[in-house]
Structure 1
């Protein structure tokens, strides 16, 4: 499964010269926790999150567990997005494998990644998008695997699919190794399937 299969597009963005208040309002209106930041030409220049917007917007409390931001002057209250955004954000591409994106998110402790096609911002993918696609019941998965197999076989049920623990198993006969390979790919690429086993014996 690729990023382009699950990303959100078009993308809600905010200008780097926008006010912190307008960015917060947009996040609330669009029910998102982060926004890509673009310049006047629409080029990605950063990411801004809810936590970024909170710096200097809450009363100072020595018992609070907010980590310090040494790059910000405690005497200055930022007014523009460019002052609080994270520059040079981690990005991904439409054809990147979702598993690789999930790993990058966990390693870098980020919740969403802008999706670039060359330099064009074409989408955004979040942890929620990945969870929605990957965490699915075996019952849902077996229906989708079976549908793909029957569709490939022109509506005939040439193969029988089962799914247990996210592992798809396909049983039936194959004309040749090429057909076996195609069926394996069809089962394995169903979102949420962790692996596929293809055999010639009925369960």
Structure 2
């Protein structure tokens, strides 16, 4: 079986010019944890994850302050205020450029192996055509749901 046989083609993605506000709207409308970001030609340029959006809201701290922040954590009001200030920021500023992609003719056994060692925070592998345009997404669930049913043990 090949990647193109197990990929989801019901794609939800963001255009490169989208804002953090657009990304938040997608997260609120779906149960997905990350979205591919594509350019005008439909080629993936990165992934926006729920964590990358939170990074906009939680201030970056110097390493010597990190332990104190991890113990106390920022108060939720400051998280909301920081996020509000970042709503019009371009997703290109916060996306992860380190992501996994495969061609549709890759064997699912290889895709399954890749899913155990994903780059970045994404939970998915992007599937692209020969021109590099996004045509599908594969998650571990896509592979698991297509495993043969187990017979009696």
Provide TM-score, normalisation by structure 1.
0.56
Corresponding residue SS for 2:103: coil
Aligned to 1:101: 111
Distance 1:41 1:21 in 2: 23
Larger of the two Rg values belongs to structure:
1
Partner Cα distance (1:25, 1:77) in 2:
14
Deviations 1:137-192 (A, max 9, x none): 42xxxxxxxxxxxxxxxxxxxxxxxx455xxxxxxxxxxxxxxxxxxxxxxxxxxx
Taking the aligned partners of 2:56 and 2:12, their CA distance within structure 1 comes to 25
Q: Which has the higher contact order (CA 8 A, sep 6+)?
A: 2
**Superposition map of 1:20-31 within 5 A:** 20-31=20-31
Residue-by-residue CA offset, 1:65-107 (whole Å, 9 max, x unaligned): 9xxxxxxxxxx95722111111152201112111211211212
Structure 1: gaps (5+ residues): 66-75, 139-162, 166-203
Label 1:48 to 1:31 Cα distance change in 2 as closer, same or farther (>3 A).
same
Task: Select which of 141, 144, 149 maps to 1:128.
Answer: 141
Q: Return closer, same or farther for 1:36/1:164 CA change in 2, 3 Å cut-off.
A: same
Gaps of 5+ in 2: 61-68, 74-84
Partner of 1:12: 12
**Structure 2 length normalisation: TM-score?**
0.72
1:89 paired to 2:102: no
Inter-partner Cα distance in structure 1 for 2:101 and 2:59: 33
SS of 2:117's equivalent in the other structure is: helix
> What is the Cα deviation at residue 9 of structure 1?
0.7
Aligned to 2:71: 63
Give the match for residue 112 of structure 1: 124
In 2, Cα distance between equivalents of 1:63 and 1:127: 33
Q: Deviations over 1:40-78 (max 9, x none)?
A: 33221111111111103146733279xxxxxxxxxx957
Does the 8 Å contact 2:20/2:86 carry over to 1? no
Number of matched pairs: 131
